Amino acid sequence: MSHAHGTHAHGTHAHGPHEHGAPAHHPHEPTPHDSPDLSALQAEVLDLDAEVLASHIASLTDWLPLTAAPRHIVDLGAGTGAGTFALLARFPEAHVTAVDTSAPHLQRLREKACAAGLEGRVRTVQADLDAPAWPELGTPGLVWASASMHHMADPDQALRHVRELLAPEGLFALLELSGFPRFLPAGEEAALEERAHTASDRFHAEHVPHRGAEWGPKLTEAGFTIADERTLDVRIEAPENPAIARYALAGLTRLRTTVAETLSPDDLRALDTLIAPERLTERRDLTVRTTRRIWAARP
């Protein structure tokens, strides 16, 4: 039996900009890799996002305007493998190279691959995609980057790398989310959640400035032709699915770490009451509301 194997790209380290940390040029800000707790929390959020949105992610892999089924796929900023596993399921003949800065995320991805018997179809590469040169990633027919390009300090450079990497007939699928999901159904709780997001948006505007960027023009500038694009409005109300409450708990706990110093003391207290695990995970009225955008581009 073969094993999912990892490569540590030369000269790269597990350090880079992250959703709830800061880009490399803000070294005073925490990143998930500075704190095992933050890294584990991010991994949990990514896993729950993959679980709760599985059918939506599958619908996006079905939608891809490919000219031929890809044999080799590269997942950039793969995290714990949301895209990797969706793509392995969609393209049974393909193997996936999953690239990320985070050693713990890639370790988790490898463990999941082994548990699913998919280890022979997955390679992990630990690398910083902000580095001027990328490691050897082959000539993929599909490059997938979900919620990772906005983390780049220089996304234009990364997009040029993707164009050079792709096979001539290949496709680049770039996914981004417009803000983090909302969970509270209504009333003062939803208003509190919104205020926390406003505070978090201020943090991200400073530290992760490319979040919410217009990727269409950036792709064109990098030499891509946009084949298609799509906006997916996700509204999940599934009281019988306990993963939604777990996702809300992990997501709101992570949101709290970002806004702890900027939210008003009253709001912070109210948020702490709201996210007390024994209360939140019992709830069956939580929803997942989020918007994902995807661009499909040819080199």
Ligand X SMILES: C[S@@+](CC[C@H](N)C(=O)[O-])C[C@H]1O[C@@H](n2cnc3c(N)ncnc32)[C@H](O)[C@@H]1O
Q: Which of 44, 119, 130, 193 binds ligand X (CB under 6 A)?
A: 130
Residue 211 in tokens:
């979040």
3-state secondary structure 71-136: CEEEEECCCCCHHHHHHHHHCCCCEEEEEECCHHHHHHHHHHHHHCCCHHHEEEEECCCCCCCCCC
Q: Which is nearer to ligand X, 79 or 170 (CB)?
A: 79
What is the smallest separation between the CB atom of 157 and ligand X, expressed in angstroms? 11
CA distance linking residue 268 with residue 256, whole number of Å = 8
Q: Which residue in the set 4, 9, 22, 46 belongs to the binding site for ligand X (CB under 6 A)?
A: 46
The least distance separating ligand X from the CB of residue 254, rounded to whole angstroms, comes to: 11
**According to CB under 6 A, which residues from 143 to 172 bind ligand X?**
146-148, 151-152
Q: Site for ligand X (CB under 6 A): which residue of 4, 9, 19, 86? A: 19
Nearer to ligand X, 147 or 166 (CB): 147
Q: Decide whether 85 or 224 has the Cβ nearer to ligand X.
A: 85
Distance in angstroms (rounded) separating the CA atoms of residues 77 and 87: 14
109 is an interface residue for ligand X by CB under 6 A: no
Which segment (17-25, 63-71, 248-256, 261-269) binds ligand X by CB under 6 A?
17-25
- Which position among 101, 124, 287, 290 is part of the footprint of ligand X (CB under 6 A)? 101
Smallest separation, CB 216 to ligand X (Å): 20
CB of 284 to ligand X, least distance (A): 25
- CA distances, 214 to each of 129, 149, 179 (Å): 20, 12, 14
Residue 62 CB neighbour total at 10 angstroms: 9
> What gap in Å lies between CA 79 and CA 146, rounded to an integer?
9
Reported as type and span, the H/E element at residue 39 is: helix 36-52
Total residue count of the chain as it appears in this document: 299
Using an 8 Å Cβ cutoff, are 61 and 87 in contact? yes
CA-angle at 277, arms to 274 and 279, nearest 5°: 60
Instruction: Report if residue 79 touches ligand X, rule: CB under 6 A.
Output: yes
Using only C-alpha atoms, the chain has a radius of gyration, in whole angstroms, of 19
Is the Cβ–Cβ distance between 73 and 98 less than 8 Å?
Answer: no
Minimum distance between the CB of residue 223 and ligand X, rounded to whole angstroms? Answer: 21
CB of 100 to ligand X, least distance (A): 5
How far from each other are the two terminal CA atoms of the chain, in whole angstroms? Answer: 36
Return the residue of 9, 18, 44, 112 that touches ligand X, per CB under 6 A: 18
Q: Minimal distance in Å, beta carbon 97 to ligand X? A: 13
- Kindly state whether residue 44 participates in binding ligand X, applying the rule CB under 6 A: no
| Closest to ligand X by CB, 79 or 251 | 79
CA distance 121 to 72: 10
Q: Which of 77, 141, 251, 299 binds ligand X (CB under 6 A)?
A: 77
Q: Choose the stretch contacting ligand X; rule: CB under 6 A; options: 126-134, 183-191, 215-223, 240-248.
A: 126-134
Q: Which residues bind ligand X (CB under 6 A)?
A: 16-19, 46, 49, 77-79, 82-83, 100-102, 105, 128-130, 146-148, 151-152
